[in-house]
DNA sequence: TCCCAGGCTCTCT
DNA sequence: AGAGAGCATGGG
């Protein structure tokens, strides 16, 4: 892994198993847009980050190495050896194949509250519309700083109420969003508290929120709380289990990084269809 | 028009 | 405890 500052931009080269574009498209995050074949815009770590794919490597525009290492290094999970993790799945042909398709995927370490609300919105929904609703929520209640809207706080959302969320057209999910935001704002649910909990405790805590079941909670634990063993089962992963594992599958056999295998499977199966 | 989308809640057995 | 309808909205 090598960093080189080029004027205002930061070039990252000599790194394996890292493709931020694929990582964005694999369904784990929603606040990004493709600008061209070689350029993406991502909103994370409280700012906008434009990423160019170049001959020499990944070019992060308008950021220096110190700031990158403060936020995005961990956000992109660059300190982990994904090659080694993929090797640990070598006993399973299906996962190994899926890991080839998604070899550039990194599990992004996203903001827990944003992840919670985002995956509540994701239920019985499709990705383009999830992105649209989240963007509308940020524009409605987030804070603007030079054209970019931050993800709103729990207090702001709770204050808006179900009626206040009408413009984002989240449908029946509005009441769930409000329940989550209210519980977090009041302290009934503590993000910091969940950070310290075991997987099982954290899962139970998240499921106290209306509209949060096993699938949403596991996504939040995997993408927002760094529980890499969390294994969300959605319609696509269920399809994989039915298709390749005769309808039953025990994620525990995959070890502490089962969630990463899940992400390979999800991305691979989706890339087959559409 | 019907069906589906990174599901969950509620109700009825 | 397990199955099934209903849920808001928009795109194919």
pLDDT at residue A145, rounded to an integer: 86
Nucleotide nearest to A126 (CA to C1'): B5
Model-level pTM?
A: 0.97
Span CA (A193) to C1' (B1), Å: 49
Span CA (A215) to C1' (C8), Å: 20
What CATH number does domain A2-79 carry, 2.60.40.10, 3.40.190.10, 3.30.310.260, 2.60.40.420? 3.30.310.260
Span CA (A245) to C1' (B8), Å: 25
List protein-proximal bases of chain B (any atom < 7 A from a CB).
4-10
Indicate if CB(A108) is under 7 A from strand B: no
pLDDT tens profile A224-242? 999 999 999 999 999 999 9
Indicate if CB(A231) is under 7 A from strand B: no
Span CA (A123) to C1' (C1), Å: 24
pLDDT at residue A76, rounded to an integer: 98
DSSP-derived secondary structure for chain A: -EEEEETTEEEEES-SS--HHHHIIIII--SEEEEETTEEEEEETTEEEEEEE-SSSEEETT--HHHHHHTHHHHTTTTS-HHHHHHTTTT-HHHHHHHHHTTT-------HHHHHHHHHHTTT--HHHHHHHHHHHHHHHSPEETTEEPPPPHHHHHHHHHHHTGGG--GGGHHHHHHHHHHHHHTSS-HHHHHHS-HHHHHHHHTTSTT--HHHHHHHHHHHS--TT-----HHHHHHHHHHSTT---GGGGGGGHHHHHHHHHHHHHHHH-
pLDDT at residue A147, rounded to an integer: 87
In chain A, which residues have pLDDT < 70?
Answer: 273-274
pLDDT at residue A273, rounded to an integer: 67
Indicate if CB(A216) is under 7 A from strand B: yes
pLDDT at residue A146, rounded to an integer: 83
Domain ranges of chain A: 2-79, 93-108+226-274, 112-220
What CATH number labels A112-220? Answer: 1.10.340.30
Indicate if CB(A233) is under 7 A from strand B: yes
Span CA (A213) to C1' (B9), Å: 10
């Amino acid at each position: 892994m090598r960093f080189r500052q080029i004027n205002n931009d930061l070039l990252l080269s000599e790194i394996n198993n890292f493709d931020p574009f694929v990582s964005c498209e694999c369904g784990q995050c929603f606040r990004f847009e493709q600008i061209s074949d070689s350029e993406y815009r991502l909103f994370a770590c409280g700012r906008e980050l434009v990423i160019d794919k170049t001959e020499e490597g990944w070019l992060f525009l308008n950021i220096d190495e110190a700031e990158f290492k403060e936020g995005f290094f961990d956000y992109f999970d660059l300190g982990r050896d994904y090659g080694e993790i993929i090797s640990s799945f070598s006993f399973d042909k299906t996962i190994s194949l899926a890991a080839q398709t998604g070899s550039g995927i990194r599990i992004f370490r996203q903001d827990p509250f944003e992840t919670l609300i985002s995956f509540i919105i994701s239920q019985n929904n499709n990705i383009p519309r999830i992105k649209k609703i989240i963007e509308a929520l940020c524009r409605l209640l987030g804070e603007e700083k030079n054209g970019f809207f931050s993800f709103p706080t729990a207090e702001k959302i709770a204050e808006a109420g179900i009626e206040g969320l009408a413009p984002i057209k989240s449908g029946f999910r509005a009441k769930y969003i409000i329940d989550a935001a209210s519980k977090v704002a009041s302290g009934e649910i503590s993000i910091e508290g969940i950070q310290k909990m075991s997987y099982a405790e954290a899962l139970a805590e998240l499921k106290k929120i209306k509209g949060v079941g096993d699938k949403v909670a596991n996504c939040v634990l995997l993408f927002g709380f760094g529980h890499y063993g969390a294994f969300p089962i959605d319609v696509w992963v269920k399809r994989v289990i039915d298709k390749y594992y005769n309808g039953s599958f025990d994620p525990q056999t995959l070890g502490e990084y089962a969630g990463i295998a899940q992400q390979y499977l999800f991305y691979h199966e989706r890339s087959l269809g559409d």
